[in-house]
Structure 1
Amino acid sequence: MLFLSIHPEHVQSIVKGRKTVELRKRTPSIQPGFKVVIYATTPKCEVVAVATVDNIQVGEPNEIWRDCGRLAAVSEEAFDAYYEGATKAVGIHLSDIAVFKKPVSLRELRRRWEGFQPPQQYRYLDSAQQKFITTRETRLGGCVSS
């Protein structure tokens, strides 16, 4: 299970189904079907959902913009600024968003997972951390695979 740190405005777009592709500069070691934990960064600082990876698309930034720009729910200007100087872009296609009925705060994560620090980009969860996340009560978000 992959723990993704995402800015709160993008998390809201994911939860509402407007954003189905998360953009990254580095390719995580995951395959389609992998589960990802969606963590809203400052000022929210909470885990809000779990999603399923449908596909991982890697290419030059202009190729990823062409294929994923609309699905990433960002402006072309923001996309270009994020990938300025990069030769590789990654689009993580998400589906089956399961939104937690009660988000898990950073304080709660630190209480349960000693020494926990949210990652800048992403990190992998161990089996105990995965069990804690997968036992949370959820509701289906706006992004449902067909």
Structure 2
Amino acid sequence: MLFLSIHPKHVQAIVEGRKTVELRKRRPSIEPGCMVVIYATTPKCEVVAVATVDAIQVGDPETIWRDCGEMAAVSEDAFDDYYDGATKAVGIHLSDIAVFKKPVSLRELRRRWEGFQPPQQYRYLDSAQQKFIAARETSLSGCVTS
């Protein structure tokens, strides 16, 4: 399970369904079907949802913009700024967004996971952390799941 740190405005776009591709500069070691945890960075500082990875697309920034720009819900200028000088871009295609009924605060994560520090980009969760996340009550398309 991959833990992604994402700016709150992008998290909001994911939760609303306007953003289905998360952009990164490095490809994480995950495959389609893997679950990702969506953590909203400062000022929110909370885990708000989980999603499924549909696909991971790697290419030069021009190709990723052409194929994923609209799904990434960012302006072309913001995209260009993010990938300035980069030769590789990564688009993580997300689906099945399940929003937590109650977000998990950074304080709660640190209480449960000793020494926890949210990553700048991403990190992998151990089995105990995965169980904690998987046990959270979520809402998917208006339905409650556990």
**What TM-score do the two structures reach when normalised by structure 1?**
0.96
Q: Specify the code of the residue in structure 2 equivalent to 1:28.
A: P
C-alpha separation in 1, matches of 2:27 and 2:141: 25
The yes-or-no answer on 1:40 pairing with 2:70 is no
Q: CA RMSD in A?
A: 0.9
| Uncovered stretches (5+) of structure 1, i.e. residues with no partner | none
Give 1:23's aligned residue: 23
Question: Paired residues, what number?
Answer: 142
SS of alignment partner, residue 111 of structure 2: helix
Q: Is the 8 A contact 1:17 1:141 kept in 2?
A: no
- Could you tell me the percent identity over the aligned residues? 86
Where relative contact order (Cα < 8 A, 6+ residues apart) is larger, the structure is 1
Residue 140 of structure 1 and its aligned partner are, at CA, apart by 1.1
* Uncovered stretches (5+) of structure 2, i.e. residues with no partner: none
SS at match of 2:36: strand
Q: TM-score, normalised by structure 2?
A: 0.96
User: What residue is the counterpart of 1:58 in the other structure?
Assistant: 58
Is 1:100–2:112 an aligned residue pair? no
**Once the 2 structures are TM-superposed, how far is the Cα of residue 141 of structure 1 from its aligned partner?**
5.2
What SS does structure 2 have at the residue aligned with 1:9? helix
Q: Using a 3 Å threshold, how does the CA distance of structure 1 residues 141 and 28 change in structure 2: closer, same or farther? A: farther
User: What CA deviation, in whole Å up to 9, does each residue of 1:6-29 have, x standing for no partner?
Assistant: 000000000000000000000000
